[in-house]
Amino acid sequence: MAHIADVFFVDGMRTPFGRAGEKGMYWNTRADDLVVKTIIGVMERNPGVSPERVDDVAIAATSQTGDQGLTLGRSAAILAGLPMTVPGFAIDRMCAGAMTSVTTMAGSIGIGMYDIALAGGVEHMGRHPIGANADPNPRFVAERMVDPGALNMGVTAERIHDRFPHLTKARTDTFGMLSQQKAQAAYDAGKIQPDLVSVATKDADGAWGLATEDEGRRPETTLAGLATLKTPFRPHGRVTAGTASPLTDGATMGLLAGGQAVKELSLTPKMKLVSFAFAGVQPEIMGIGPIPSTEKALKKAGLSISDIGLFELNEAFAVQVISFLDHFGIADDDPRVNQWGGAIAVGHPLAASGVRLMIQLAAQFAERPDVRYGLTAMCVGLGQGGSVIWENPFFDGKKKK
């Protein structure tokens, strides 16, 4: 039996995220072409990894149909020009799809079966709206396994507010505004752009353009403006468009390698995998999923929450992130959390988002040799959470001045 090998996140890139729908920049762009761009981007940026060395390609999508179907890992690998000898497959764990692509490939590397793998995700929510082709089994509701509202993510977010009244609308509005401000500040400082791969786009009139940055940002957001927004999921509710991630199109890709391959190819990895975990919760309050998954991942790693120096938490809804922070005794505005903004500002193309979190954490690790451990975590539809703990290879043990 092979020993457990070290697993590294060598690099990651993503497309700029676009607004879903006819007015979005990717309305006339195929989902599989978004994946192809990210594969090409990552491979070009890592010329030391020859394409034939890639052992497998795992690509996640929530709605696996049309241009987002056909065993995406294999079809996108062929379209990206990888050798025909490189296999691939598709994954679905809704919002944690790309995260699961990474952890699945990490498992294969960890037991020594793979050396190098590509793992990512895509969601074209304009072409494939969430749940559009779903046919939930009637037993879910008839046998009261799942509350009908559990299939509407906004309703599940409202239910977190119900369950924890101290997680107020005022807190979520502030969190949503800060996400926008932090994302814009990160753009202004040039933090996000290095990991974006430009995508050629075509509008309704056939005019070509180039997508170079996330389309949905609203840095001008104010608390006064947020207070006037409608609550679409419930009359007099608390969840608004300003405290939720927008519908988004985009793709992400990570390059993973085992310790032996890193040595052999003289790679400089950006993060080392420490542990990961997934957990289930009641689907009707799916947003609290990252709490038990993080507790599991911490236990597996022999760490406590105080050991985590940077957090990248997916902002499906502000209340979902705040419920996590509240549980672990972390302030809503803790500087360790989502320091470059999050999904409320940049978007959440469901199955792609997990690797976006990793890309941002990796870039922050490079700037913060004083931080040893970081966490990427997210809630998942149908009542799940996913968490991955990473170690900073640049950690020097010195406290930040």
**pLDDT (tens digit per residue) in 364-401:** 999 999 999 999 999 999 999 999 999 999 999 887 76
Checking if the pLDDT of 61 tops 60, the result is: yes
Q: Which amino acid is at 374?
A: G
The residue annotated as part of the active site, out of 3, 95, 166, 327, is 95
What are the residue boundaries of the structural domains of the chain, listed by start? 7-125+246-390
Q: What pLDDT, on a 0 to 100 scale, did the predictor assign at position 324?
A: 98
Q: What pLDDT, on a 0 to 100 scale, did the predictor assign at position 173?
A: 98
Q: How far apart are CA 173 and CA 121, in angstroms?
A: 29
Give me the phi and psi of 148, to 5 degrees please: -55, -35
Region 71-86 average pLDDT: 98
The residue annotated as part of the active site, out of 124, 128, 161, 379, is 379
Domain 7-125+246-390: homologous superfamily in CATH = Thiolase/Chalcone synthase (3.40.47.10)
Q: Annotated catalytic, 124? A: no
Q: What pLDDT, on a 0 to 100 scale, did the predictor assign at position 399?
A: 79
Give me the phi and psi of 67, to 5 degrees please: -75, 0
Q: How far apart are CA 59 and CA 366, in angstroms?
A: 26
Region 216-245 average pLDDT: 96
Identify which of 230, 199, 275, 223 has the alpha carbon closest to the alpha carbon of residue 28.
Answer: 199
The DSSP code for 247 is P
Q: How far apart are CA 335 and CA 321, in angstroms?
A: 14
Q: How far apart are CA 105 and CA 253, in angstroms?
A: 12
Q: What pLDDT, on a 0 to 100 scale, did the predictor assign at position 88?
A: 98
The DSSP code for 314 is -
What is the average pLDDT value for the chain, to the nearest integer? 95
Q: Annotated catalytic, 166? A: no
Q: What pLDDT, on a 0 to 100 scale, did the predictor assign at position 1?
A: 44
User: Quick one: how far is CA 269 from the chain centroid?
Assistant: 19
Checking if the pLDDT of 339 tops 50, the result is: yes
Bridge-based pairing state of the strands 271-280 and 384-391? antiparallel
The residue annotated as part of the active site, out of 124, 128, 161, 348, is 348
Q: Which amino acid is at 243?
A: T
Q: What pLDDT, on a 0 to 100 scale, did the predictor assign at position 401?
A: 63
Q: Annotated catalytic, 379? A: yes
Q: What pLDDT, on a 0 to 100 scale, did the predictor assign at position 132?
A: 80
For 295-312, the pLDDT digits (tens) are 999 999 999 999 999 999
Q: What pLDDT, on a 0 to 100 scale, did the predictor assign at position 136?
A: 85
Checking if the pLDDT of 231 tops 80, the result is: yes
Q: How far apart are CA 90 and CA 163, in angstroms?
A: 36
Contact call for residues 325 and 291 (beta carbons, < 8 A): no
What residue has token string 């679409």?
232
Region 203-210 average pLDDT: 89
Region 64-91 average pLDDT: 97
State whether residue 375 is helix, strand or coil.
strand
**Residue 313 contacts by C-beta under 8 Å, 6 or more apart in sequence?**
290, 321, 324, 337, 338, 342, 357, 375, 376, 377, 378
**Residue 292 contacts by C-beta under 8 Å, 6 or more apart in sequence?**
279, 280, 281, 385
Bridge-based pairing state of the strands 308-313 and 88-91? unpaired
Share of the chain above pLDDT 70, in %: 99
Region 270-298 average pLDDT: 97
Checking if the pLDDT of 6 tops 50, the result is: yes
Burial class (CB in 10 A: 0-12, 13-18, 19+), 280: middle
Q: What pLDDT, on a 0 to 100 scale, did the predictor assign at position 135?
A: 86
For 131-142, the pLDDT digits (tens) are 887 888 889 878
Query: To 5 degrees, how large is the angle CA 285–CA 286–CA 289?
Result: 115
What residue has token string 């809704």?
94
Q: What pLDDT, on a 0 to 100 scale, did the predictor assign at position 400?
A: 74
Region 343-370 average pLDDT: 98
Q: What pLDDT, on a 0 to 100 scale, did the predictor assign at position 145?
A: 86
Q: What pLDDT, on a 0 to 100 scale, did the predictor assign at position 91?
A: 98
